[in-house]
Amino acid sequence: MIKPIYIFSGFLESGKTSAIITTLSDTNFNIDTKNLIIALEDGIVSYSEKFQEENNATVIYLNEKLTAKYLQEVSKEYDRIIIEANGSYKLEELLIDIDSPDFQVVEILAFFNTETFKLHLNNLKPFIYDVVKYSDVVVFNRYNKQDKKYLRNNIKAINPNITIIYENQNKEVEKDTPEDIFNLEDDNLTINDTDFGLWYMDSLDNPYKYENKKININVKLLEKIPNYENVGLFGREAMVCCADDISKIGIICLGINLENIKPNTYYNISGTIHLLQDSNQKDRAVLYVDEIKDGILPESELVNFI
């Protein structure tokens, strides 16, 4: 049986231990499962004997390199392995060291203390790059209305598809909003590839925000609109729930000579948004095209909505 591994990574005092304790204390996650926690550092927060007993967990503190062979030896009695990684142990090296057909890394979570993130980014950027590049989720804890765009842009520049969570002092979670990402006071908006999904959903829910705004997007032709000349649906494709469930998401563009448009080719389209009513008498944002140029293939063609 292949055993799942969850990796909690980040610098000392970034909140890894507290997150592991919270996770294993959640009965929806931890049901009749024998958990092995391998801590590669000894932080300020500790795993009490009571916690271990109540949550069917055993903790091993390891001050040396973790290997697949060692994991095989110590995990025989356990169903799940949780690794509390040391921020100075490069995540890329850790993944190589524990690589084995007996284990599968299910999820990697990176934790940052928001109050010290800028300092760490300035002085320890290679370590942050390594952590974020291989992680699925980043958690900014101790979040207290810091510059969310600064935090998000630095993370997304490393890993565009990562999920970002902002957790305040009360353990309450905040999500990105369009107001955090787009300057809606600006009449000229450039929609980055990584933000297309977020913008698309907001344009559906709140089309009035974008009336008369000029935008610039990098998209491809998804389909021609029957019975209309020089009108097409341009956008991207999104994985809704699984790899077999791919949907087309985009905006109706008017004023493009579709005879010159190549299939599966990205174009940089600029124009002005106006609202038109659809067949259900609902206002929808459409793009009146001013200019179209060659675009670039996005790093990840499938859109996420984070």
Quick check: 42 pLDDT over 80? no
Q: What is the mean pLDDT of the chain?
A: 89
Q: What is the pLDDT of residue 161?
A: 78
- CA 173 to CA 59: how far, in whole Å? 28
Mean pLDDT of 212-231: 94
Look at residue 305 in the predicted model and tell me its pLDDT.
65
Q: pLDDT tens, 64-78?
A: 899 999 999 999 999
pLDDT of residue 27: 80
Alpha-carbon span 66 to 91, nearest angstrom:
11
Q: Which of 67-81, 155-169, 176-190, 230-244 has the lowest mean pLDDT?
A: 230-244
Q: Six-digit token pair at 248? A: 């087309």
Give Cα 279 to chain centroid, integer Å.
35
Examine the pLDDT at 179 and tell me if it is beyond 80: no
Q: Residue 294: its pLDDT value, please?
A: 97
pTM of the model: 0.70
Supply the pLDDT for residue 125: 86
Distances in Å between the alpha carbon of 160 and those of 27, 147, 233, 271?
32, 18, 24, 25
Is residue 177 packed enough to be buried (19+ CB in 10 Å), middle (13-18) or exposed (0-12)? exposed
What does the pLDDT look like over 272-286, one tens digit per residue? 999 998 877 889 999
Give Cα 262 distance to the centre of its chain. Answer: 31
Yes or no: say if 252 and 286 are a contact pair by the CB < 8 Å rule.
Answer: yes
CA distance 85 to 70: 15
Structure confidence at residue 219 as a pLDDT band (50, 70, 90)? very high
Highest averaged pLDDT of the listed ranges 117-131, 186-200, 215-229: 215-229
User: What number is the average pLDDT over the span 156-177?
Assistant: 85
**Quick one: pLDDT at residue 245?**
61
| Full set of structural domains in the chain with CATH | 3-176 (3.40.50.300), 186-303 (2.40.50)
| 127-131, 261-265, 280-284, range with greatest mean pLDDT | 261-265
Give the span between the Cα atoms of 5 and 218, in whole angstroms: 37
